[in-house]
């Protein structure tokens, strides 16, 4: 991901920037008649403290995240081993994957392993980036060695404790299945753990030979699968604290609007409503919070509020007008994208024997995670506890500290399991946590105090969220009769995700937001000149699963496919010819060839009306290739078998890789579906829920076989890379079926 690369290049700790000098009734019973179901660690008042290990020791000066076993591993007397995840799990399975990695080196009894989450403390930063972050498909990639070393250090300390008790040399002992064995003597990890944690932490440890792995690399179910499948899994929206109140917020229909006049009399008469208060919102907006005994009275109270909004001086986005604006911008070059790869000489374009001109339009998209946003804030005079599913708890700590006046070490963020995220819970402004804290502050200002959970309805999430940017691409390509591309002039018009955020100073280079251009050109050897326009639009934008690759992969893979067909080249052979014979090119070739072989491409006879569709793309250092069968019936796409091949280097949990690629493909399928777009008219979002922002149903899901390229190289990311190549593979098949290229999302076949 561009974020990780830029951080590494600049050596900057984001949280130091964010914190300044301070850096360092059961909903399951309600499911039968409730809407918006979600699912994390069990949260009831008596167990809330177990969600985040507030007693974990602070890291010592110079101590690395790989050297803090006591902050990550706890073993109870009965042998139950709890391994903490230093990220937030939103369904991608990292709580299990990281536990597998640690348990492997620990030689733990996997049946007794449980998982939980860390918090905003320094123990739980990403060891490669120096900040708290769940994103960029970095979790396993960046913490693979960390968790192996944590497990090995814990095992070494357990052996040392047993050796001391038995007065023998630790080298004569061995560990197996949560038991230390020495001759005829045996001691369980539960018996030894307390003494082990008093042993010196070894500076260096010897890790296992991968050939001896018993857990890593084996298909393994998630530790939370049973809870999720039985409806007992708890999420951030399920948090319950003694005396807790619930709030909903009335937000202005146009971003940045304010309250002009307010009548709360009817709302205050609703049974259960405790207060109706003006509150500060994101990006300078003002809203109204309704605080009540539960969600339903809060919702009814909000319905009864009479408010007049003031949008004076606030720009009103309109996507119909934006299309004209974006097209006008794309007529001329924008800012030159940085990097030699995007500064090719394109003078040959004028004399090229064959030319291809294309315009692509990608709409705003809502993240539409299954669990709408929710954040519980327990604000006290000298401390603040926040319970939410946060992808950046360190950054969020800094934001909350600033608005409360508390010190960062007085803020405690209890990271919860999330029912999906896709980037929505990693907001540089900490928008939804700041909003919830402002509601708690407003209530305290009335002379009262209680933990308050702010819940977003689905409509709140859709109409007042952050979105994937509206984006337009324009390409002018010259090529010869053999398909050799002689010049490619490319322009992108898209809002910057990072402008105005704490990330701008070092992630926007030469005026170009790197998240806009990621995925362009590479790994193909193509002479391309790329420029970008970043218009100012009054719509909050944010990374959306696989970020820039959601549109750049579609553009690259459909255009290359068109050139292959126009020059009578096999699309597989054509792609292979554009790949360098280096390590990176070989990874792409391996993924594409595996998908081709497993799909039976070129050998299998397709049913009448069905056509092959092929695409591949690298994002977050993993390559995914799709080969699928699709056609058109009654004006609608029909998808047959889908084959995916993944090159993510060494695979920790094949089952997770399979499910992530399948889930990503389903999410990509949604982007192609009719009406799957967020549109604005006169500054207001026109969609409100899934009836007008449709999602795929189980009947839309094709059969997807996932295959993994064998590799012993260090693992790469998998949470996002499965999404970008699916839609272009489908588009390429449908173009063969209809004879018309698809250059707008969602697809319009008529």
CA 264 to chain CA centroid, Å, is: 39
DSSP secondary-structure letter at 35?
S
Compute, in degrees rounded to 10, the torsion defined by CA atoms 726, 729, 734, 736: 180
Distance CA 745, CA 657 (A): 27
Cβ neighbours, 10 Å, residue 636: 11
The kind and range of the H/E element at 216 are none
Q: 3.30.365.10, 3.40.50.720, 2.40.30.10, 2.40.10.10: which CATH number matches 2-229? A: 3.30.365.10
Rounded Cα gap, residues 640 and 611, in angstroms: 9
Class of domain 236-313+373-455: alpha beta
CA distance linking residue 359 with residue 473, whole number of Å: 6
Q: Where are the beta strands (DSSP E) in 480-587?
A: 485-494, 508-509, 512-513, 528-533
Rounded alpha-carbon distances, angstroms, from residue 420 to 4, 546, 721: 22, 14, 16
Q: For tokens 């919860």, what's the residue? A: 416
CATH of domain 333-366+466-738: 3.30.365.10
Q: Do domains 236-313+373-455 and 333-366+466-738 have the same CATH topology?
A: yes
Give the pLDDT of residue 534: 98
Those residues of the chain that have pLDDT short of 50 are 1-2, 6-12, 17-55
Inter-residue long-range contacts of 735-743, CB under 8 Å, 24+ positions, other chains counted: 735/558, 735/561, 735/562, 736/565, 736/611, 736/612, 736/613, 737/609, 737/610, 737/611, 737/630, 737/631, 737/632, 738/632, 741/358, 741/558, 741/562, 742/558, 743/358, 743/359, 743/360, 743/361, 743/558
Residues 6+ apart with CB under 8 A from 530: 336, 337, 342, 490, 491, 492, 517, 520, 521
Q: Which two tokens stand for residue 119?
A: 């918090």
Q: Which pair of tokens denotes residue 355? A: 């030319």
C-alpha 286/C-alpha 279 separation (Å) is 6
> In the prediction, which pLDDT does 12 show?
46
φ, ψ of residue 579 in degrees (nearest 5): -95, 135
Which residue's entry shows tokens 């003078």? 347
Give percent helix, percent strand, percent coil of the chain, each to the nearest 5. Answer: 35, 25, 45
DSSP state string for 256-317:
T-EEEEEE-HHHHTSTTEEEEEEEE-GGG-EEEEEEESSHHHHHHHHHH-EEEEE-TT----
- Do 96 and 139 contact (CB within 8 A), yes or no? no
Q: Per-domain residue ranges for the chain?
A: 2-229, 236-313+373-455, 333-366+466-738
Residue 683 near residue 255, CB atoms below 8 Å: yes
Predicted confidence at residue 59, as pLDDT, reads: 61
pLDDT value, residue 68: 87
Give CA–CA dist 710/712, Å, rounded.
Answer: 7
Q: Which candidate, 585, 570, 587, 617, places its Cα nearest to that of 729?
A: 617
3-state secondary structure 315-367: CCCCHHHHHHHHHHHHCCCCEECCCHHHECCCHHHCCCCEEEEEEEEECEEEC
How far is it, in rounded angstroms, from Cα 544 to Cα 193? Answer: 42
Contacts of 603 (CB under 8 A, 6+ apart): none
Tokens of 22: 């301070």
Q: What is the pLDDT of residue 24?
A: 38
What is the distance between the alpha carbons of residues 170 and 672, in angstroms, rounded to a whole number? 60
Give Cα 207 distance to the centre of its chain: 30
Q: What span, in angstroms and rounded, lies between the C-alpha atoms of 428 and 413? A: 16
Chain-centroid distance of CA 166 in Å reads 48
Q: Concatenated DSSP letters for 233-260?
A: ---GGG---TT-EEEEEE--SSTT-EEE
Identify the CA nearest to 618 among candidates 724, 710, 730: 724
- Residue 377's H or E segment, with its range, is strand 374-379
CB 201 within 8 A of CB 67: yes
Smallest Cα–Cα separation from 207: which of 72, 71, 66? 66
| Number of residues written out for the chain | 750
Q: How far apart (Å, rounded) are the C-alpha atoms in residues 551 and 358? A: 14
* pLDDT, position 738: 97
User: DSSP secondary structure string, 121-144?
Assistant: SGGGS-TTTSS----TT-HHHHHH
CA 40 – CA 26 distance, rounded (Å)? 14
Residue 457: predicted pLDDT: 98
């Amino acid at each position: 991901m561009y974020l990780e690369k830029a951080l590494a290049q600049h050596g900057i700790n984001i949280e130091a920037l964010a914190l300044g000098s301070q850096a360092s009734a059961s909903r399951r019973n309600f499911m039968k008649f409730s809407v918006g179901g979600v699912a994390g660690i069990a949260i009831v008042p008596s167990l809330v403290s177990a969600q985040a290990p507030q007693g974990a020791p602070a890291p010592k000066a110079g101590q690395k995240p790989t050297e803090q076993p006591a902050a990550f591993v706890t073993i109870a007397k009965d042998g139950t081993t709890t391994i903490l995840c230093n990220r937030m799990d939103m369904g991608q399975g990292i709580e299990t994957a990281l536990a597998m990695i640690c348990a492997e080196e620990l030689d733990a009894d996997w049946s007794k392993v449980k998982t939980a989450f860390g918090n905003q403390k320094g123990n739980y930063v990403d060891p490669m980036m120096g900040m708290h972050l769940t994103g960029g498909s970095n979790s396993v990639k960046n913490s693979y060695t960390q968790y192996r070393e944590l497990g090995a250090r814990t095992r070494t300390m357990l052996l040392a404790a047993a050796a001391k008790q038995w007065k023998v040399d630790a080298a004569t002992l061995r560990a197996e299945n949560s038991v230390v064995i020495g001759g005829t003597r045996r001691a369980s990890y539960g018996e030894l753990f307390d003494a082990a944690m008093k042993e010196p932490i070894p500076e260096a440890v010897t890790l296992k030979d991968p050939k001896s792995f018993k857990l890593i690399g084996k298909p393994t179910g998630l530790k939370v699968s049973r809870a999720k499948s039985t409806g007992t899994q708890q999420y951030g929206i399920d948090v319950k604290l003694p005396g807790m109140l619930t709030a909903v917020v009335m937000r202005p229909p146009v971003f940045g609007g304010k309250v002009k006049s307010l009548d709360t009399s009817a709302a205050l008469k609703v049974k259960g409503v405790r207060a109706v208060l003006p509150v500060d919102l994101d990006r300078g907006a003002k809203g109204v919070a309704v605080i009540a005994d539960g969600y339903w009275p809060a919702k009814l109270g909000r319905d009864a509020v009479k408010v007049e909004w003031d949008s004076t001086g606030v720009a009103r986005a309109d996507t119909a007008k934006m299309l004209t604006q974006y097209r006008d911008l794309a007529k001329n070059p924008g800012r030159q994208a940085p990097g030699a790869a995007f500064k090719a000489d394109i003078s040959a374009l004028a004399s090229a024997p064959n030319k291809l001109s294309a315009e692509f339009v990608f709409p705003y998209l809502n993240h539409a995670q299954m669990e709408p946003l929710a954040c519980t804030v327990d604000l006290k005079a000298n401390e603040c506890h926040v319970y939410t599913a946060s992808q950046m708890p360190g950054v969020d700590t800094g934001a909350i500290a600033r608005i409360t006046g508390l010190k960062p070490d007085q803020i405690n963020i209890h990271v919860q399991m999330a029912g999906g995220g896709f980037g929505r819970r990693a907001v540089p402004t900490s928008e939804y946590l700041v909003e919830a804290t402002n509601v708690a502050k407003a209530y305290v200002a009335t002379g009262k105090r209680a933990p308050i959970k702010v819940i977003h309805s689905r409509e709140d999430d859709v109409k007042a969220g952050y979105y994937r940017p509206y984006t337009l691409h324009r390409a002018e390509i010259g090529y010869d009769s053999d398909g050799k591309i002689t010049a490619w002039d490319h322009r992108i018009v898209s809002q910057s995700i990072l402008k105005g955020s704490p990330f701008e100073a070092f992630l926007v280079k030469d005026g170009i937001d790197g998240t806009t251009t990621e995925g362009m050109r590479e790994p193909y050897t193509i002479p391309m000149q790329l420029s970008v326009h970043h218009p100012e639009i009054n719509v909050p934008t944010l990374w959306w699963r696989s970020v820039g690759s959601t549109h750049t992969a579609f553009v690259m893979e459909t255009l290359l496919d068109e050139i292959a067909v126009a020059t009578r080249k096999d699309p597989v052979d054509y792609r292979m010819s554009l790949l360098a014979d280096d390590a990176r090119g070989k990874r792409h070739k391996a993924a594409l060839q595996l998908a081709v072989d497993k799909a039976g491409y070129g050998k299998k006879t397709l049913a009448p009306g069905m056509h092959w569709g092929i695409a591949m793309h690298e994002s977050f250092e993993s390559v995914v290739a799709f080969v699928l069968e699709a056609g058109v019936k009654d004006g609608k796409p029909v998808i047959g078998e889908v084959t995916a091949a993944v090159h993510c280097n060494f695979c920790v949990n094949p089952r997770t890789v399979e499910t992530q690629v399948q889930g990503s493909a389903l999410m990509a399928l949604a982007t192609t579906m009719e009406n799957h777009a967020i549109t604005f008219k006169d500054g207001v979002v026109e969609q409100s829920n899934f009836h007008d922002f449709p999602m795929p149903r189980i009947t839309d899901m094709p059969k997807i076989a996932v295959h993994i390229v064998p590799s012993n190289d260090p693992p790469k990311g998998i949470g996002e890379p499965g999404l970008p190549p699916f839609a272009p593979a489908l588009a390429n098949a449908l173009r063969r079926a209809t004879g018309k290229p698809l250059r707008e999302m969602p697809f319009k076949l008529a």
